[in-house]
């Protein structure tokens, strides 16, 4: 096996002492006794150099603690090896599933994922997109639409493709991989209507904050209209996400509408929060109040009663978005509807 003289490594280091962040490609080339062009070629594609040469280059990099400057390389190629993602919340398992799908979808492609949290702020979405653009990403995946026209134009000018994954509302300048929030909420509400429920309350994140919440509320209203059930705004309770907020919102809804016979949680873990509130108050579910959740999770299948929910293919959405950016857009459908399915359980 090829080896490097420790004396020579020390001599190279002594010529101009550097740490790993400051070592240059020229230092690696000198120590490995090859040209800088050969080092560059080996870093891009090891198959372009002989096995012996590659081993010498790797050993030289290790001896000098050399870290390749991939950002500098992207300045020449106008592309980095990054796929940037913007989601509303990095801690929420709903968005984590999509990020995991993207990460897994990029395996063996040479691309890496970076992510930022927007906190449901349109301004922050645009700010993060602008910051990520400076890294020359291979592509950008976003949940919330980028409403800032200047940022959208900058992305087009830079040739950075954008994939929207939050909702199935196509636009000509982006790729869409998602499901219809409106249709999903309509299906969930129709499920409760089909079981004879007529006073169906809604727990929802503020529709003014996110277009997805607004689309889900539209789906709820569409289901009521199709069933000829009168729309009652008193049945809509806006709240923040989380178990405790869902429980408090449900109790407030009961005070407002005592004859409530069903509730649908249109986001986060609002529905299981409502179930916990029912159990504390001695309300039987589903005999007195049926409950359905927009998103499914392992937890909902373990509660008593088990909770009816929509299964959204969030992981698969992430993988499909990654495939678009990793393998190119030629021949791919501009809009990919991955759909949803309803799992009826004991709570309804």
- For 275-279, the CB contacts below 8 A with 24+ separation are 275/303, 275/305, 275/307, 275/347, 276/243, 276/246, 276/247, 277/246, 277/247, 277/248, 277/250, 277/251, 278/250
Cα(111)–Cα(285) distance, integer angstroms: 48
Which stretch of 62-71, 266-275, 297-306 has the lowest confidence by average pLDDT?
62-71
pLDDT of residue 49: 87
pLDDT of residue 332: 74
The CATH number that domain 181-311 falls under is 3.40.50.2300
Which stretch of 65-79, 145-159, 186-200, 233-247 has the lowest confidence by average pLDDT?
65-79
Is the pLDDT assigned to residue 122 strictly greater than 60?
yes
For the record, the structure tokens of 317 come out as: 């959405």
Which stretch of 76-90, 98-112, 133-147, 161-175 has the lowest confidence by average pLDDT?
76-90
pLDDT of residue 79: 65
Q: Evaluate whether 146 touches 156 at the Cβ level (below 8 Å).
A: no
Cα(59)–Cα(46) distance, integer angstroms: 14
Q: Which residue has the higher pLDDT, 100 or 69?
A: 100
Q: What predicted TM-score, i.e. pTM, was given to this entire model? A: 0.78
CATH topology of domain 79-179+315-339: Rossmann fold (3.40.50)
Q: What is the mean pLDDT of the chain?
A: 89
Which string of b and e fits 275-314 if b means at least 16 CB within 10 Å? bbbbeeeebebbeebbbbbbbbbeebeebebbbbbbebbb
Scanning the structure block, which residue is given the tokens 């992510």? 115
Q: Which residue has the higher pLDDT, 73 or 88?
A: 88
Residue 163: count other Cβ atoms within 10 Å of its Cβ. Answer: 26
Residue 330: band (very low, low, confident or very high) from pLDDT cuts 50, 70, 90: low
pLDDT of residue 72: 57
Is the pLDDT assigned to residue 1 strictly greater than 50?
no
Average pLDDT over every residue of 314-336: 88
Average pLDDT over every residue of 284-289: 97
pLDDT of residue 232: 96
Is the pLDDT assigned to residue 212 strictly greater than 70?
yes
Which stretch of 8-12, 97-101, 177-181, 250-254 has the lowest confidence by average pLDDT?
8-12
79-179+315-339 shares its CATH topology with 181-311: yes
For residue 310, which of 337, 286, 339, 343 has the smallest C-alpha distance? 343
Cα(68)–Cα(43) distance, integer angstroms: 8
Give burial (CB, 10 Å; 0-12/13-18/19+) of 14: exposed
pLDDT of residue 93: 87
CB contact set of 276 (below 8 Å; sequence gap of 6+)? 243, 246, 247
Residue 8: band (very low, low, confident or very high) from pLDDT cuts 50, 70, 90: low
Cα(9)–Cα(32) distance, integer angstroms: 9
Average pLDDT over every residue of 66-79: 58
The CATH number that domain 6-68 falls under is 1.10.260
pLDDT of residue 14: 47
Is the pLDDT assigned to residue 19 strictly greater than 60?
no
| Per-residue pLDDT tens digits for 158-208 | 889 999 999 998 888 899 999 999 999 999 999 999 999 999 999 999 999
Is the pLDDT assigned to residue 21 strictly greater than 50?
no
Average pLDDT over every residue of 17-30: 70
Is the pLDDT assigned to residue 10 strictly greater than 60?
no
Q: Evaluate whether 204 touches 217 at the Cβ level (below 8 Å).
A: yes
Average pLDDT over every residue of 249-272: 95
pLDDT of residue 327: 83
Average pLDDT over every residue of 26-35: 91
Sketch the domain layout of the chain as residue ranges. Answer: 6-68, 79-179+315-339, 181-311
Helix (H) or strand (E) holding 263: strand 262-265
């Amino acid at each position: 096996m090829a080896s490097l003289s420790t004396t020579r490594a020390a001599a190279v280091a002594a010529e101009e002492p550097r740490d790993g962040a400051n070592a240059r490609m020229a230092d690696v080339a000198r120590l490995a006794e090859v040209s800088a062009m050969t080092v560059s070629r080996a870093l891009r594609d090891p198959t372009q150099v002989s096995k012996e040469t590659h081993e010498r280059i790797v050993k030289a990099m290790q001896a000098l603690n050399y870290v390749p400057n991939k950002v500098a390389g992207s300045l020449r190629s106008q592309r980095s090896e990054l796929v940037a993602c913007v989601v509303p919340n990095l801690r929420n398992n709903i968005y984590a599933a999509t990020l995991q799908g993207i990460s897994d979808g990029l395996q063996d492609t040479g691309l890496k994922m970076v992510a930022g949290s927007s906190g449901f702020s349109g301004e922050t979405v645009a700010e993060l997109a602008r910051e990520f653009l400076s890294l020359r990403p291979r592509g950008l995946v976003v949940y919330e639409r980028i409403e800032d026209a200047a940022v959208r134009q900058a992305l087009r000018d830079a040739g950075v493709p954008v994939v929207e994954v939050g909702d199935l509302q196509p636009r000509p300048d982006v790729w869409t991989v998602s499901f219809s929030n409106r249709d999903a909420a309509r299906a969930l509400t129709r499920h409760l209507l089909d079981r004879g429920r007529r006073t169906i309350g809604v727990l929802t994140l503020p529709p003014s904050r996110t277009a997805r919440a607004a689309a889900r509320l539209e789906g709820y209203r569409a289901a009521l209209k199709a069933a000829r059930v009168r729309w009652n705004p008193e049945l809509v309770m806006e709240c923040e996400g989380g178990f405790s907020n869902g429980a408090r919102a449900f109790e407030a809804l009961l005070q407002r509408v005592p004859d409530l016979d069903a509730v649908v949680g249109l986001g986060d873990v609002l529905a299981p929060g409502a179930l916990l509130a029912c159990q504390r108050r001695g309300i039987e579910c589903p005999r007195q109040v049926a409950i359905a959740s927009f998103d499914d999770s392992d937890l909902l299948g373990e509660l008593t009663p088990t909770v009816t929910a929509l299964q959204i293919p969030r992981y698969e959405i992430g993988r499909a978005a990654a495939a678009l950016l990793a393998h190119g857009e030629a021949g791919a459908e501009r809009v990919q509807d991955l759909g949803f399915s309803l799992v009826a359980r004991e709570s309804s």
